[in-house]
Amino acid sequence: MPTVVEFQVNSTFNIVAPDSVRVSGYPVPGPLTPGVDPDYRFRSSLLSDVLVWQRGLLAGEHHDGLWLTGPMGSGKI
């Protein structure tokens, strides 16, 4: 299993956030990970919801799934 590392949210997602806010992830993208779109801008409000869900899941606080919805091609991968 790959090693999990911590990334700064501000530099990873190009948003305003303190350096202390971090997200866990893998150091190397998987074979099905899409390439980076340098023009994509993350919405801070949606990203915040996803990061809180992920943090709770990793901490064992819940085992809930996360439902993402939107039109085909809208980036729900």
pLDDT at 77 (0 to 100): 61
CA atoms within 13 A on the CB side of 29: 6
Question: How many Cβ atoms are within 10 Å of 7's Cβ, its own excluded?
Answer: 14
- Distance CA(13)–CA(43), nearest Å, equals 9
pTM higher than 0.75: no
Give the pLDDT confidence score for residue 20 in this predicted structure: 94
Pair 23, 54: CB distance under 8 Å: yes
- Tell me the pLDDT tens digit for each residue of 17-39: 999 999 988 999 888 888 888 89
Q: Please state the rounded mean pLDDT for residues 45-66.
A: 89
